[in-house]
């Protein structure tokens, strides 16, 4: 699924040593350019790459003069990264581990502009682990104080420190701070001009299709796949890719009894449109709230129930591959997982979306004529349970004020949950 290319054998030895110390469970392949230098590097890389997997080309500062040209002349599944040191082999192992993480995050910042419309296009940038790029539309305009709700989209660069940048026409036009217990605080720096989401998807299609093809090697020999399907954009994209490469695909939706009602509506609708079989399994989260109290960030007892329900459903199916929508941008722990891993005692897990940004995922769905979950248009970033301890203040505000967000909810239970946070959310 991923091959790292370096210039020389000594560079490869250093890289393998880093992998042994920091990424020992990764099935990473290392190739060399047999010591080539200068413009010969470009031809050597082109001879090594194919379109059915991803490649990271790591070069030292000695090759700085060819890095951009190499990036521009290779397809999107080839990520070119220049480290800060002169040579790979002269880099400390901890620094080399970090540079690998930086390189993997590069595609999340591949954004170009056609007038007011952004699109995903390969460009040489220095990645930033912990960042992501996503799109807001619908009630997001109002939530972030950018204007009245609109079907048009806007682009946000999401940072790990909670201060995000709204970008229009390639320029920062707003800064917004999104924290757990406060409504977003936004400072306008310019005019936020919206764009058509479908146009964004159409302009991005070439890179997206290259990323889909880049997952082909991961799925070799995939006869039957199970996709844990939450109704969110990532698991829906994972389902689409699994359908493209696996002989048989089935989805599993875990119903906790406290799921947002629009999730169930969305899954039923999209399953019919995509002709996907899915099973609904029950995790008794709602039934246990009276005894255990609401789940909290320090006591996420609900997660164990959901995993148990999913495990049991997968085990009943025998030998399968489990395809998940994990992305590196979601958390440090996910970025440290390999594209494939063993879910001990359950199945082999494949994660084809690891290198994708949130914007890429949305472009993929729209380019395949799959509408995203309507909860995104209502302003939600996280989809799932309406009593989730990880809902942020603005999402709890939506649950208080937006009728469509409450569809299917036990209103007494929802009110109890919201009441627990009311003082924090209102700044009391």
DSSP one-letter string for 300-330:
-HHHHHHHHHHHHHHHTT-S-EEE----GGG
Domain presence at residue 294: yes
Query: Are 340 and 404 members of one domain?
Result: yes
Query: Are 193 and 224 members of one domain?
Result: no
- Give the number of residues written for the chain: 428
> Among 106, 133, 167, which residue terminates a domain?
106
Query: Are 100 and 245 members of one domain?
Result: no
Query: Are 30 and 173 members of one domain?
Result: no
Domain ranges, residue 264: 209-425
Tens-digit pLDDT profile for residues 147-190: 999 999 999 999 888 899 999 999 999 999 988 888 899 999 99
Query: Are 128 and 101 members of one domain?
Result: no
Domain presence at residue 248: yes
Q: Is 316 exposed, middle or buried (0-12, 13-18, 19+ CB in 10 A)?
A: exposed
Q: If residue 210 lies in a helix (H) or strand (E), which one and from where to where?
A: helix 197-213
Domain presence at residue 300: yes
Query: Are 364 and 222 members of one domain?
Result: yes
> Among 54, 85, 106, which residue terminates a domain?
106
Quote the pLDDT of residue 180: 83
Query: Are 295 and 385 members of one domain?
Result: yes
The whole-chain average pLDDT of the chain stands at: 94
Write out the DSSP string of 268-306.
HHHHHHHT-EEEEEE--HHHHHHHH-S--SS--HHHHHH
Domain presence at residue 164: yes
Domain presence at residue 204: no
> Among 175, 198, 221, which residue terminates a domain?
198
Domain presence at residue 332: yes
Q: The domain spanning residue 295 has which CATH number? A: 3.40.50.620
pLDDT at 353 over 90: yes
Quote the pLDDT of residue 428: 39
Query: Are 339 and 411 members of one domain?
Result: yes
Query: Are 102 and 164 members of one domain?
Result: no
Tens-digit pLDDT profile for residues 258-289: 999 999 999 999 999 999 999 999 999 999 99
Three-class SS state of 59: strand
| Domains contained in the chain, number | 3
Domain presence at residue 338: yes
Tens-digit pLDDT profile for residues 217-274: 999 999 999 999 999 999 999 999 999 999 999 999 999 999 999 999 999 999 999 9
Q: Which of 376, 378, 371, 382 is nearest to 198 (CA)?
A: 371
Query: Are 244 and 355 members of one domain?
Result: yes
Mean pLDDT along residues 346-366: 96
Six token digits for residue 350: 């494949």
Q: The domain spanning residue 81 has which CATH number? A: 3.40.1360.10
The CA distances from residue 114 to 89, 122, 334, in Å, are 41, 14, 33
Domain presence at residue 48: yes
Query: Are 411 and 365 members of one domain?
Result: yes
Phi/psi of residue 409, nearest 5 degrees: -80, 150
Pairing mode, strands 347-350 and 340-343: antiparallel
Instruction: State the pLDDT confidence band at 426, using cuts at 50, 70 and 90.
Output: low
Tens-digit pLDDT profile for residues 49-101: 999 999 999 999 999 999 999 999 999 999 999 999 999 999 999 999 999 99
Query: Are 166 and 222 members of one domain?
Result: no
């Amino acid at each position: 699924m991923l091959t790292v290319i370096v210039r020389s054998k000594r560079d490869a030895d250093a890289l393998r040593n880093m992998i042994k110390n920091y990424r020992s469970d990764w099935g990473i392949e290392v190739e060399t350019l047999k010591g080539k230098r200068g413009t010969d590097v470009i031809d050597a890389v082109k001879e090594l790459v194919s379109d059915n997997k991803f490649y990271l080309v790591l070069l030292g500062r000695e090759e700085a003069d060819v890095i951009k040209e190499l990036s521009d002349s290779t397809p999107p599944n080839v990520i070119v990264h220049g480290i800060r040191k002169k040579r790979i082999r002269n880099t400390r192992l901890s620094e080399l581990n970090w540079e690998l993480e930086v390189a993997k995050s590069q595609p999340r910042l591949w954004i170009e502009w056609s007038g007011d419309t952004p699109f995903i296009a390969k460009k040489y940038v220095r990645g930033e682990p912990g960042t992501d790029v996503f799109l807001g539309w619908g009630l997001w305009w109002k939530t972030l104080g950018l204007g009245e709700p609109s079907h048009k989209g806007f682009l946000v660069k999401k940072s790990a420190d909670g201060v995000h940048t709204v970008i229009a026409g390639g320029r920062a036009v707003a800064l917004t701070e999104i924290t757990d217990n406060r409504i977003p605080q936004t400072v306008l720096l310019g005019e936020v001009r919206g764009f058509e989401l479908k146009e964004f998807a159409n302009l991005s299609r070439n890179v997206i299709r290259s990323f889909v093809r880049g997952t082909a090697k991961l799925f070799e020999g995939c006869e039957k796949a199970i996709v844990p399907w939450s109704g969110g954009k990532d698991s829906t994209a994972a389902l689409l890719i699994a359908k493209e490469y696996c002989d048989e695909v089935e989805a599993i939706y875990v119903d906790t009894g406290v799921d947002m009602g629009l999730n169930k509506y969305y899954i039923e609708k999209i399953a019919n449109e995509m002709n996907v079989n899915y099973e609904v399994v029950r995790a008794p989260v709602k039934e246990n709230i009276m005894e255990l109290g609401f789940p909290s960030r320090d006591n996420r007892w609900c997660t164990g129930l959901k995993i148990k329900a999913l495990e049991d459903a997968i085990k009943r199916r025998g030998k399968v591959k489990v395809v998940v929508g994990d992305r590196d941008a979601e958390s440090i722990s996910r970025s440290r997982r390999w594209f494939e891993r063993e879910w001990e005692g359950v199945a082999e897990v494949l994660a084809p979306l690891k290198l994708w940004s949130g914007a890429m995922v949305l472009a993929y769905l729209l380019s395949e004529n799959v509408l995203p979950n309507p909860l995104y248009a209502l302003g939600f970033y996280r989809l799932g349970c309406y009593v989730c301890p990880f809902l942020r203040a603005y999402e709890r505000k939506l649950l208080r004020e937006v009728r469509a967000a409450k569809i299917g909810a036990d209103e007494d239970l929802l009110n109890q949950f919201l009441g627990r946070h009311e003082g924090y959310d209102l700044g009391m």
